[in-house]
Structure 1
């Protein structure tokens, strides 16, 4: 499982100019089953996405296609972790530690 932390690198008016395309991109990732949760950080200086994928390389490929990235208005920090405990609704994503 992965935590994707977005940090805005441009003023909010430039971020907002790409927001509609970013939301469409998010929707596509939810439809593919890659994203589990997402939202803005408070204060609004970026966002957070909880995601699942086969490996880190795949998550990096997906993040690189975010319209926020291609427009140059955000940077990603990607953290991989092993979800050994989850809420019952996320049980299928539980992993055993190596």
Structure 2
């Protein structure tokens, strides 16, 4: 499982010009099951996405295609973790350490 942390690198006005495309990108990956949660940070200086994926390279490739990334208005920090404990609703995503 992965935590993707976005940090804006441009003024919020520049970020907002790409918001509709970013939301469409989020919706596509929520629908395909790669993202399981996403939202803005508070204060609004970026966002957080919880993702599942084949591997880190696949998740990083998806992040690089974010309209915010391609427009150069954010940077991503990708953290991989092993989800050994989850809420019952997230049981399908539980993992075992290697």
CA–CA distance in 2 between the matches of 1:96 and 1:29? 24
Question: Displacement, 1:97?
Answer: 1.4
Over aligned residue pairs, what C-alpha RMSD do you find? 0.4
What is the count of residue pairs matched by the alignment? Answer: 98
What is the match of residue 92 of structure 2? 92
CA–CA distance in 1 between the matches of 2:34 and 2:7? 20
Alignment of 1:7-86 (within 5 A): 7-86=7-86
- Provide TM-score, normalisation by structure 1: 0.99
Q: Unpaired segments of 5 or more residues in structure 2?
A: none
CA–CA distance in 1 between the matches of 2:47 and 2:77? 11
**Cα offsets for 1:10-41 (capped at 9, x unmatched):** 00000000000000000000111100000000
